[in-house]
Chains A and B, each alone.
Chain A
Amino acid sequence: MELLQAKDATLIQKYTQGDERALEVLINRYNTRLSSFIYSKVFDKEITEDIFQDTFVKVIRTLKRGKYNEEGKFLPWVIRIAHNLIIDHFRKSNRMPRYEMGEEYSLFSIMQDGSLNAEHQLIQDQITEDLASLIRQLPEDQQKVLQMRMYQEMSFKEIAERTGVSINTALGRMRYALINLRRLIEEHSIVLTN
């Protein structure tokens, strides 16, 4: 009873300390939301169960290894894992999700406003946060060039003038910033897709 009302962070802590009941509470707490999210993308109940299972297998492995560090953000993290598995599923089966359209005109085809839905927004926020923390790990000179180029859309000539270095040096810093970012992403097995 006490476990049923516990917060996610408490349940995760209890689970990592060996209380298997905490995992059962977590799975049951998010079963409907996660299954419905997966089903809304794949439209197949069996595939939904498979992806649901694979998602929690990854969750279990990560928690048991003590590598979970997103306290308080359990659901967005789980949804992101599921989302990546859905992408893998469509890549493997070499097809995209099919939308059933009738012969009649579909209002929904022109009603989309182009903004992200709630799940995608959560995932996008998480990716932005991850990327920002990765950039913060770069040497300061590389961080500056990267931010000026990518976020302020400055030319390398402008960056060189602003930082008081030659264009070649600015280009070199950008190159090393990207190399280092790729290395960090590989090392931490981070998936930056939405």
Chain B
Amino acid sequence: MEKVYSEQAKTCEVIQAGKATVDRLLQFSRTLHLVEYKDFTFEANLN
């Protein structure tokens, strides 16, 4: 029984996205700007 559970352990492993990924997302958000023109919305990434 113990062995059966251990085979499934991977499906409920608790993990987290790393700090680098989170920082990249925050950087993306800070630099993303939307420019509206008539009915269109354009994305601009201003680094």
| Residues of the B chain whose Cβ atoms lie less than 8 Å from the Cβ of A28 | 22
The number of residue pairs between A and B whose CB atoms lie closer than 8 Å in the complex comes to 72
| Residues of the A chain whose Cβ atoms lie less than 8 Å from the Cβ of B14 | 32, 36
Q: Which of A34, A39, A65, A108 contacts B34 (CB 8 A)?
A: A65
A99-120 CB contact bits vs B (8 Å, 1 = yes)?
0111010111000000000000
| A104-B21 CB under 8 A given contacts A39-B13, A39-B15, A60-B29 | no
B1-28 CB contact bits vs A (8 Å, 1 = yes)?
1011001101111111110011011101
Inter-chain contact A64/B32, CB cutoff 8 Å? yes
Q: Interface residue tally of chain A, by bracket?
A: 20 to 34
| Residues of the B chain whose Cβ atoms lie less than 8 Å from the Cβ of A57 | 25, 28
Of A44-52, A87-95, A123-131, A171-179, the segment with at least 4 beta carbons within 8 Å of chain B is A44-52
Inter-chain contact B22/A108, CB cutoff 8 Å? no
Interface of chain A: mostly helix, strand, loop or mixed: helix
Inter-chain contact A43/B10, CB cutoff 8 Å? yes
| Residues of the B chain whose Cβ atoms lie less than 8 Å from the Cβ of A49 | 17-18, 21
Inter-chain contact B11/A104, CB cutoff 8 Å? no
CB distance from A54 to the nearest CB of B (A): 10
User: Quick check: is A31 within 8 A (CB to CB) of the other chain?
Assistant: yes
Q: Interface residue tally of chain B, by bracket?
A: 20 to 34
Q: Across the two chains, which residue of chain B brings its CB closest to A57?
A: B28
User: Quick check: is B47 within 8 A (CB to CB) of the other chain?
Assistant: no
Q: Across the two chains, which residue of chain B brings its CB closest to A21?
A: B26
| Residues of the B chain whose Cβ atoms lie less than 8 Å from the Cβ of A27 | 22, 25-26
Q: How far is B24's CA from A52's CA once the two chains are assembled, in angstroms?
A: 12
Inter-chain contact B15/A104, CB cutoff 8 Å? no
By a beta-carbon cutoff of 8 Å, the part of chain B in contact with chain A is: 1, 3-4, 7-8, 10-18, 21-22, 24-26, 28-30, 32, 34, 41, 43
